[in-house]
Structure 1
């Protein structure tokens, strides 16, 4: 019977596997880290009803009716007036650059019309590139503003009581609330991240597993030349993916292209360079291709959840937003949506583009430093 099954042999095999598992720290860390990360992110960071959204107020007066409107909007929990501006041009720059989600404009004759019993208007412009972000704030807007004006006038509020207020809502950039306009541009960043990082993450580990690492190190080439030789071919792969996704976005989903194609392609090139350098950095850390793929997945999951692709970025708590800023995908999504949907020009996306460029230098420096340690 012991020829076919032995408790002793089974115990020896189990002991061997546990020892190997303990030695493979990356795999062991993934087994514990991924479920814990999913639990924390889905439990604390994900929120489909974002509150305290940044807003800009455009007004030339500070009368008590204007203050009542602002206070009522803030009390809903959806609006946070971070910017008080004097002109529509300033407000336009803020909403185009993504600094605010709402622009509330109260005319200078607002108080005079209310006192005379005339119909007064306020204008609220909402950034509707992500339809789910502004929907909750807009749904209760008319009722809240009307009741606030009635209270300020000293009139009892009720269902049949007319306030004389007209709230005009403009859903900017995506007035019909088509979700594909928000998702498809973001998919370009997600697809590029998944393929570019994954393919370049095995650049050096593949050499180790095949036993050709010594030949690579013996070549009369500097670490920079080896790195460029490993990552530049993948730029051609990325170019093909960009053509396919942008073509599908236009032909299949009719996503608008409001901005300049040159600026869009320049931003994509910077993003792809950051991704291939990140993948190469991972390949200098991992010892096997399996470890490289595990590290890629460990980076990919929080990047998807915290970048604003699947869930509203503004709806996450502050600590999750700070964490989301360390991923290149977060900044690329802001750039591509601003260029494609808002027609943003370079000044509006200069900050995010500069941050992507910083990722390139940071990843390149880390990769070169790690590769020199390999040489030593």
Structure 2
């Protein structure tokens, strides 16, 4: 038996480095994934979101109402983006998800304040994602003592230890702040992404590795026919997964399912088709199953971190939110949560459905173009 040789070890090491540099996709993934994780966790992830979009309904024009509005503007938690003219308009803004908070200053606020008759300010929070509203709701506790500190003097000064008015908080869509109501519906998008994208990419790449794709290319089958035939079984798999997740979400976690079934069905169909087309596109780029899996993970990681699944979407900086809007899971999560928790109709979620439709069309077109090039 020959003795251990550093020369032979060095020769094998050099060979391995050369092999690694030839596999450029794997090499790029090894460098890109750590950098992406560092940037996302270091800059984009924020568990205490601020500057949340807020709508106001001010039903009286008084110095006290203006002071409360000024205090809200000075807060780092609320960005006043809309001025509603009626309770119905305010309710519509919250239900469509355009604002995170809706604040109402009633018409009898000044009269009740002057009489010490329990003046109240109503704050409605979209609590479909409890982590997005928790810190801001906690910050509201200081509003009664700070907002009117310079206005209530003399006879209007409140008794020591008594707040001049009360902030009444209504947590809508998830009043008990149950995390499962947000996480479990969101899991539908993550699970469909992980399984459909990766399964499709691996399936087609496996055929290329085994040589069966060459036999398929020798047949008169058109590219669109190959794509439709390959993806059709996985559409059924995606629908079965969706049904299982929704049934278990109701039975095990008691997730409320208010309605919005037509919009949810359209969203599921578009997301499944888009995810499968994306997996097919990856398979036309990857040369091995390992590369296909790496590309799938490179897509799934930002889908988890930037979509609002694990961390509040509005807590991320503007550039991260812009990237998150590109991720299809972001729009799919809004469709699922909006349908199940808010009962949104198709018209309420048309922007998200349009984004999913655009994603499915663009990715399908790219996959077809790439597959035609491989045929040539």
**1:45 correspondence with 2:44:** yes
Q: Which residue of 2 aligns with 1:170?
A: 170
Gaps of 5+ in 1: none
Report which stretch shifted further, 218-227 or 303-312. Answer: 218-227
- Hey, what's the Cα distance between the residues in 2 that align with 1:164 and 1:253? 41
Q: Do 2:266 and 2:353's aligned partners in 1 also have CA atoms closer than 8 Å?
A: no
Q: Do 1:118 and 1:164's aligned partners in 2 also have CA atoms closer than 8 Å?
A: no
- Hey, what's the Cα distance between the residues in 1 that align with 2:218 and 2:194? 32
Q: Which residue of 1 aligns with 2:187?
A: 187
Runs of 4+ in structure 1 off by over 6 angstroms are: 155-159
3-state DSSP class of the match of 1:150? coil
Structure-to-structure mapping, 1:282-297, within 5 angstroms? 282-297=282-297
Q: Which residue of 1 aligns with 2:31?
A: 32
Q: Which residue of 2 aligns with 1:367?
A: 367
Q: Do 1:192 and 1:238's aligned partners in 2 also have CA atoms closer than 8 Å?
A: yes
Structure-to-structure mapping, 1:19-168, within 5 angstroms? 19-154=18-153, 160-168=160-168
Gaps of 5+ in 2: none
How far 1:279 moved relative to its partner? 0.7
Q: Which residue of 2 aligns with 1:268?
A: 268
- Hey, what's the Cα distance between the residues in 1 that align with 2:159 and 2:354? 52
Q: Do 1:224 and 1:368's aligned partners in 2 also have CA atoms closer than 8 Å?
A: yes
- Hey, what's the Cα distance between the residues in 1 that align with 2:334 and 2:260? 15
How far 1:105 moved relative to its partner? 0.6
3-state DSSP class of the match of 1:81? strand
Q: Which residue of 2 aligns with 1:14?
A: 13
3-state DSSP class of the match of 1:348? coil
Report which stretch shifted further, 52-61 or 139-148. Answer: 139-148
In the TM superposition, what whole-angstrom CA distance separates every residue of 1:75-99 from its partner, at most 9, and x where no partner exists? 2211101001101111111111111
Q: Do 1:60 and 1:107's aligned partners in 2 also have CA atoms closer than 8 Å?
A: yes
The CA RMSD measured in Å over matched residues stands at 1.8
- Hey, what's the Cα distance between the residues in 1 that align with 2:293 and 2:132? 33
How far 1:158 moved relative to its partner? 9.1
- Hey, what's the Cα distance between the residues in 1 that align with 2:215 and 2:193? 30
3-state DSSP class of the match of 1:174? coil
How far 1:159 moved relative to its partner? 9.1
Q: 1:118 to 1:297 in 2, by over 3 A?
A: same
- Hey, what's the Cα distance between the residues in 2 that align with 1:157 and 1:285? 72
TM-score, normalised by the number of residues in structure 1 = 0.95
3-state DSSP class of the match of 2:348? helix
Q: Do 2:283 and 2:292's aligned partners in 1 also have CA atoms closer than 8 Å?
A: yes
In the TM superposition, what whole-angstrom CA distance separates every residue of 1:139-198 from its partner, at most 9, and x where no partner exists? 131322332123222469899343431211101011011111011000111111100000
Q: Do 2:104 and 2:121's aligned partners in 1 also have CA atoms closer than 8 Å?
A: yes
Q: Do 2:263 and 2:335's aligned partners in 1 also have CA atoms closer than 8 Å?
A: no
